[in-house]
Amino acid sequence: MKIKDPIQIVIVVLLAAFIGFGQVPEETPPPLIVNDTEILKIESRLVVVPVSVLDAAGQPVTGLRASDFKVSENKRVQQISEIGDAENVPLEIAILFDISATTNPMFEFQQETAIKFLKNVMRPEDRATIITVGNEPTILQARDTALKSAVSIRSIRASKEQTAFYDSVKAAADYLNKNTPSGRRRVVVIISDGEDTNSSGVVNAIWNAERKIVDNKMSRDALRNIRVKARDDAKVAEQKKVLRSLQNADTVFYSINPAGSSYKLNKMSVFGQENMEKFANETGGTAFLPKFLPIDVADTYQRESNTKRNSETLEDIFRQLANELRAQYLLQYYSDAEYPESAYVNLDVELNSAQGRRVRARQGYFVKN
């Protein structure tokens, strides 16, 4: 039977199309075609890898393409689907100032140098968040411009408070993860010695250990050993929590330790620096350890000379940090590998032609299904 009515023709065509597409489940997403050759499933997990590339002189290497990089996930080479560079990808940076007594001598220099750094590195579309590290983390300024950040930083005053280091870094990473748009470069920069005396996990661990003590005649040394063990065990646990938050937020961690070489004077300071180095290495950042000269000396000439040299050292560090941020790329790929929830996946990022260039990139990520 021939169909002459145009309306009937349209109905038949639509029915045929509907029947044909009925073979595919409704929940099946369309494929994503990359370079007209490889098809990646939409339900595959998107992985974001911040990467900095510097030359032998420490200067940023710009203009690289996806084809210049090689990304491996658990030793399996991945197909990079997108790359963004510092010129085209906005920056979200959280600056954390340790306001405890341990950082007092160089505090004003840190403030002014940080302001200069933000004005130098931030563009109109970039945003900075200012957080103080004391008894607890305090967001002094939510995401705003370099100009507003300068005002906020100058308003910070050092104090004699305790230091909630872990809580503050975790709060910064969680804030960036929750409040910044996706597809931006996220960075945490903290000026601190890395020591922690007041994070909730550390304080609660010590308190719980003391609660279990039933021997009222325990010696002072024995009691101290119990507290130290509880504190050290808690710090390892807190370290893991913070690193997970940094990784989940695709955030690169940088630190500047104003204690300089004096950090070696006690175990707590050594662990604090090692702690920051771990966060930096795992996320693709840098833990700067400047060699500051003493400024609390009686000789006026020496004090002024040391102050000037310390200021220059701090400016050099922020200049290097600015170079790393200008050399930062955001690589993205889709992983279709099956991993259990919260599994840690190792990453390796290389240049196909190194030519003396240095690559800094996150070392892995935790699976979020």
Distance between CA atoms of 294 and 284, rounded to whole angstroms? 31
Question: Taking each helix axis from N to C terminus, what angle separates 165-179 and 220-248, rounded to the nearest 10 degrees?
Answer: 20
Separation CA 257–CA 130 (nearest Å): 18
**pLDDT above 50: residue 16:** no
Tokens, residue 175: 């804030």
299 alpha-carbon distance from chain centroid: 41
**What's the confidence (pLDDT) of residue 106?**
74
Does residue 115 register a pLDDT over 90? yes
245 in Cβ contact with 174 (< 8 Å) = yes
Do 86 and 326 touch, CB atoms closer than 8 A?
Answer: yes
* Least confidently predicted of 1-15, 115-129, 220-234, 240-254: 1-15
CA distances from residue 33 to 38, 42, 52 in whole angstroms, order as listed: 6, 10, 28
Question: For residues 61 and 55, is the Cβ–Cβ distance under 8 A?
Answer: yes
Q: What is the pTM of this model?
A: 0.83
Taking 70 as the threshold, does the pLDDT of residue 1 lie above it?
no
Return all residues near 305 (Cβ < 8 A) that are at least 6 apart.
none
The share of the chain scoring above pLDDT 90, in percent, equals 52
- CA 198 to mean position of chain CA atoms: 22
> Mean pLDDT over all residues of the chain?
84
* Region 270-286 average pLDDT: 92
Please choose, from the candidates 166, 38, 105, 155, the residue with its C-alpha nearest in 3D space to the C-alpha of residue 292: 105
In tens, the pLDDT along 25-51 reads 434 444 433 344 343 344 578 999 999
Q: Residue 217: pLDDT band by 50, 70, 90 thresholds?
A: confident
d(CA 236, CA 41): 38
Angle, CA 356 vertex, CA 351 and CA 361 arms, to 5°: 45
Q: What is the mean pLDDT of residues 193-206?
A: 88
**Domain ranges in the chain with CATH number 3.40.50.410:** 91-326
- For 77, the token pair is 């080479």
User: Residue 140: its pLDDT value, please?
Assistant: 96
Q: What is the mean pLDDT of residues 195-218?
A: 82
Tell me which H or E stretch contains 84: strand 80-85
Distance, in Å, from the CA atom of 145 to the CA atom of 123, rounded to the nearest integer, reads 8
How far is residue 83's CA from residue 323's CA, in Å, rounded to a whole number?
19
Q: Which of 51-65, 258-272, 309-323 has the lowest mean pLDDT?
A: 258-272
Strands (E), 175-262: 185-191, 251-256
**179 vs 30, residue with greater confidence:** 179
Element (H, E) at 346: strand 344-351
The domain covering 91-326 belongs, at the CATH homologous superfamily level, to von Willebrand factor, type A domain (3.40.50.410)
Confidence of residue 197 (pLDDT cuts 50, 70, 90): confident
Strand order from edge to edge, sheet including 45-54: 80-85, 328-335, 45-54, 358-361
User: Angle of helix 267-283 relative to helix 220-248, nearest 10 degrees?
Assistant: 10
- More confident site: 364 or 226: 364
Instruction: Report the distance separating Cα 92 and Cα 201, nearest Å.
Output: 28
Q: How confident is the model at residue 299 (pLDDT cuts 50, 70, 90)?
A: confident
pLDDT at 105 over 80: no
